Amino acid sequence: MLTLKMTKTKLVSFTGIVVILVIVGVTIGLAAPATSSARRLTDRGPDDCTPVIIAHRGASGYVPEHTLGAYALAILMGADYVEPDLVITKDGHLIARHDNSLGLTTDVASHPEFAHRHRSQAIDGIELSGWFTEDFTLDEIKTLRTVERIPDIRPGNARLDGSFQIPTFQEIIDLVKSMQISQRRTIGIYPEIKHSSHFKNIGLPMEELVVNTFHSNGYLDSSSPVYIQSFEVNNLKELKKLTNLRLLQLYESDKSTQPADQILLNTGLTYYNMSTPEGLAEVAKYAAAVGPDKGYIIPRNDDNTLGDPTTFIQDAHAVNLKVHPYTFRAENSFLPEEYKSDNPSESASGNLKGELQKFIDAGIDGIFVDHPDIALRLRGPCL
């Protein structure tokens, strides 16, 4: 309940601030050119401040990930972008889940009518048992309810188990568009296409569908508040031909691994290869930005403290790539040793601001964060 109460309080105070800004904006707007900073405050776009704050799976530190509740809370907190991961249903609808395996974040296991759908298959080379989105129609998906992925670390979120449905991509766009009006600012959408090769190989390719959905909703070119991300390579190159929307190349934390499509193509290309100055120059031919695991920027020492920054940011900036590392999270479980709190619990909140400041000092352009409110407080007013 704390989460819901906080949402309401933030809504009220944020609305109050916005009302004041609108009055100030209108008043100054009468006497000053349209470029005055007060006027711009009411028009804040998702790329106007640095670092760009991308609400990872919504405000997933507070509400079960990839739900309209998690996205809405992120927007109320002031996040620049909401980040849905996209998978696809049997009947070709894009829905938001981190995995096509439904058991991790839904109550599918307690639906006896779906027991017979349980099966095993290899996805991107990993053998998985469970229930898969590609075996369910959207109508069936809508009978499920979401649950918290990591209830041990986020017990507060688990209290909201059963509260939300799985949203479609279109429902997320509709939420963003309606909240842009109430929040009086442009809110960005930052989807990741999950398991691209897997879905292509079973006759459910996602790339054109994602692009067509954006285009038909008026998101048309590189000035639109959109990035499309993928851990694979060739689907991004394919997207480059289909759209002028901005693309982001993701990098797995283990540099020796290969993008799933590159394994299938037997190219030998690893994320390490893509992280060198030459590799980044290749990526810059199709992408506007790179999303590395944060270890590419500041690796950890053996004792799990932060080490020294690498040249990754400079190398990326040299070829005009923005750098948006993932994932920043407030709980001890995820923090470098020196930023953990005295409370030894893995679920206790440590000093995320301290960790973030190190990355801001290193020159990042944006962050994927589960607790966007903390990042926003650190960033402060920026216009």
Active site residue 56: yes
Across the beta sheet with 81-83, what order do the strands follow? 188-189, 81-83, 52-56, 366-369
Closer CB to ligand NAG, 166 or 233, in the complex: 233
Is the CB of 158 or the CB of 269 nearer to ligand NAG? 269
Q: Which residues of the chain form contacts with ligand NAG (CB under 6 A)?
A: 267-270, 272-273
Nearer to ligand NAG, 116 or 285 (CB): 285
3 state SS of 237: helix
User: Closest approach of Cβ 274 to ligand NAG, in Å?
Assistant: 9
Q: Which is nearer to ligand NAG, 183 or 270 (CB)?
A: 270
Under DSSP, is residue 322 helix (H, G, I), strand (E, B) or coil? strand
Measured from the CB of residue 207, what is the shortest distance to ligand NAG in angstroms? 23
- Is 195 annotated as catalytic? no
- By beta-carbon proximity to ligand NAG, the closer residue of 265 and 378 is 265
Residues contacting residue 109 through CB under 8 Å, at least 6 positions apart: 103, 131
Confirm if 197 and 232 have CB atoms less than 8 A apart.
yes
Which ranges in 234-329 belong to alpha helices (H)?
Answer: 234-242, 260-265, 271-275, 277-283, 312-318
C-beta neighbour count of 48 within 10 angstroms: 15
Determine the residue with CB nearest ligand NAG.
273
* Neighbouring residues of 136: CB distance < 8 A, sequence distance ≥ 6: 89, 90, 102, 114, 117
Q: CB of 283: closest distance to ligand NAG in angstroms?
A: 12
- The one catalytic residue in 93, 98, 198, 371 is 98
Minimum CB distance to ligand NAG smaller for 82 or for 274: 274
The minimum distance between CB 239 and ligand NAG, in angstroms, equals 22
Least distance to ligand NAG from the beta carbon of 234, Å? Answer: 14
Strands 192-193, 94-96: parallel, antiparallel or unpaired by DSSP?
unpaired
Burial class (CB in 10 A: 0-12, 13-18, 19+), 305: exposed
Instruction: Name residues whose C-beta falls within 8 Å of residue 39's C-beta, 6 or more positions apart in sequence.
Output: 25, 28, 29, 32
Between CA 140 and CA 148, with CA 144 as vertex, the angle to 5 degrees is 150
Q: Residue 131 or 271: which CB sits closer to ligand NAG?
A: 271
Minimum distance between the CB of residue 267 and ligand NAG, rounded to whole angstroms?
6
> Please, what's the b/e burial string for 98-137 (b: 16 or more CB within 10 A of its CB; e: otherwise)?
bbbbbbebbebeebeebeeeeeebebbeeebebbbbbbbe
**Tally of CB atoms within 10 A around 301:** 11
Least Cβ distance, residue 247 to ligand NAG (angstroms): 21
Question: Which amino acid is it at 59?
Answer: A
Helix (H, G, I), strand (E, B) or coil at 372: helix
Q: Checking DSSP bridges between strand 81-83 and strand 188-189, what pairing results, if any? A: parallel
**Active-site annotation, residues:** 56, 98
